Amino acid sequence: MPSSSSGRTVIIGAGIAGVSAAGALRSAGHDGEIVLLGHEPELPYRRPPVSKEIIRGEKAADEIRIKKPEWYETQAITLRTGVTVESIDTTAHTVYLAEGEDVAYDQVLIATGGRARSPWTASGIRTLRTLADVPQLQAELAAGTSIIVVGAGLIGSEIAASARGLGCEVTLLETAALPLPRLLPPELGQMYVDLHKSEGTDLHTSVTVESITDENGQNVVRADDGRSWSAQVVVVAVGMVPNVELAEAAGIEIATANDGGGIAVDAHGRTSAPDVFAAGDVANLPNAVLGGRHRVEHWQGAQNHGTSVGKNMATVETPFVEVPWCWSDQYAHTLQVTGWPLATHELVVRGSLADHDFCAYLLEDGVVRGAVAMGRPGDVRTARGWIAEHARLDEVLT
């Protein structure tokens, strides 16, 4: 049992996991103090629009807030933005702020998410994770500007599509043989090759970037096989690094890289230290459906995990069981992915890939392990249930 459903709960990180946990603590009856500490100076916001409507200038920051300012007041949640937790003393039950203040806690939640990974350091390199990254990149993405996006994963592909929408000349470079390699089986990766091509994005796959240098005002990207590309702007989108350093320094167990890294938690969000919980992108949790452990980097997962752990901190003891689900908007199309699709899975497609209207089921020995779809949200919802039930496709698909 958590130590208290009253007392002071400190939440480190005011992203969707932290905000959801704060709300869930209150609605589950926690009547003590809730202090939400966020490094970003912003009122908490929804991150997914950053690579879509925000970078394209279609929405302003105030249109993507997670909650209105008054919500924090009515919920009696003390939101402090622009403060950074520097360390946690799990024996003294205290967090220390970089601003020189100590905050004692009865329970603490680490919801520190992650940061953009960038193995290169040239001054012209841009990454996109926060609203603070937007103004400079947005100013550079004028029509006719040449841009190289390194990494055709979820965020890189979205940035490429957004930049094309703004009239930029876009080159997209990917190490794997096909785009979205962590999410899509080869047939569907090929569909994205065709989509990028038809939208005028110059996609190159099987590219291992060796260096990025700033040469006379142009960014030059060189691959290990001698190929090179140059552009006015380079955006590196090669994944994120979970912010585990606080936990690591406090002696809290970190999951192995093989399991996906992150702070190891149990099904209730507890870490290896007493009264310390973790949630969202930074947490590595038991996979209640397939066994083993995993770390998820999707919006809805972070939201629901934050909610679940918040409830558990308020003494409602419910293990977190969820089949991952995410979406990605590229050009005019929304992709939805659920479960744990692997390149080795058997693929059964209903609908038409060419028309971008399909649901593809991914099977392991006939059992549904994942689904990928465009234009068929109902099918994805249904498939999500089948994945949770370990259903055989030939028994459920009529």
Ligand X SMILES: Cc1cc2nc3c(=O)[nH]c(=O)nc-3n(C[C@H](O)[C@H](O)[C@H](O)COP(=O)(O)OP(=O)(O)OC[C@H]3O[C@@H](n4cnc5c(N)ncnc54)[C@H](O)[C@@H]3O)c2cc1C
In the complex, which residues of this chain contact ligand X (CB under 6 A)?
Answer: 12-18, 37-40, 47-48, 50-51, 84-85, 111-114, 128-129, 155, 243, 246, 280-281, 297-300, 302, 326-328
Q: How far lies 244's CA from each of 1, 86, 238, 247, in Å? A: 24, 12, 18, 5
Kindly state the tokens that stand for 317.
């003891």
| Nearer CB in complex with ligand X: 43/221 | 43
Smallest distance from ligand X to CB 378, Å: 18
In this complex, which beta carbon is closest to ligand X, that of residue 157 or of residue 220? 157
CB of 43 vs ligand X, minimal distance in Å: 11
Shortest reach from residue 98's CB to ligand X, in Å: 8
Q: How far is the CB of 291 from ligand X (least distance, A)?
A: 23
- For residue 295, what are the CA distances in angstroms to 73, 240, 289, 339? 32, 12, 14, 13
Smallest separation (angstroms) from ligand X to the CB of 204: 22
> What residue has token string 């994205």?
192
Residues 6 or more apart whose Cβ sits within 8 Å of residue 377: 336
CA atoms of 139 and 116, how far apart (whole Å)? 20
Give the C-alpha separation, 179 to 351, whole Å: 21
Which residues does 110 contact at the CB level (< 8 Å), separation at least 6?
12, 13, 88, 246, 247, 263, 271, 276, 277, 278, 279, 282
Residue closer to ligand X (CB basis): 39 or 345: 39
Q: Which is nearer to ligand X, 278 or 316 (CB)?
A: 278
Cα of 312 vs its chain's centroid, Å = 23
If you search the block for the tokens 């001698």, which residue do you land on? 226
In the complex, what is the shortest distance from the CB of residue 394 to ligand X, in angstroms, rounded to a whole number? 30
Question: How many CB atoms sit inside 10 A of residue 291's CB?
Answer: 8
For residues 85 and 221, which CB has a smaller minimum distance to ligand X in the complex?
Answer: 85
Nearer to ligand X, 2 or 242 (CB): 242
User: Which one-letter amino acid corresponds to residue 208?
Assistant: T
Buried b (16+ CB within 10 A) or exposed e, 307-343: bbbbbbbbebeeebebbbbbbbbbbebebbbbbbbeb
Which one, 119 or 366, has the nearer CB to ligand X?
119
C-beta of 392: minimal distance to ligand X in Å? 28
**Closest CB 366 distance from ligand X, rounded Å:** 28
Which CB, 40 or 259, lies closer to ligand X? 40
In the DSSP assignment, the letter for residue 182 is: T
Q: How many CB atoms lie within 10 A of CB 271?
A: 23
Torsion of CA 137, 138, 143, 144, to 10 degrees: -10
Distance between CA atoms of residues 378 and 385, nearest Å: 11
- Taking the complex as a whole, the smallest distance from the CB of residue 184 to ligand X amounts, in Å, to 15
Minimum Å distance from CB 306 to ligand X? 7
Nearer to ligand X, 88 or 220 (CB): 88
- Nearest-CB residue to ligand X? 113
Q: Annotate 326-348 with DSSP letters as a single string.
A: EEEEETTEEEEEEE---TTSEEE
For residue 160, the Cα-to-chain-centroid distance in whole angstroms is 18
Query: In terms of CB distance, is 47 or 356 closer to ligand X?
Result: 47
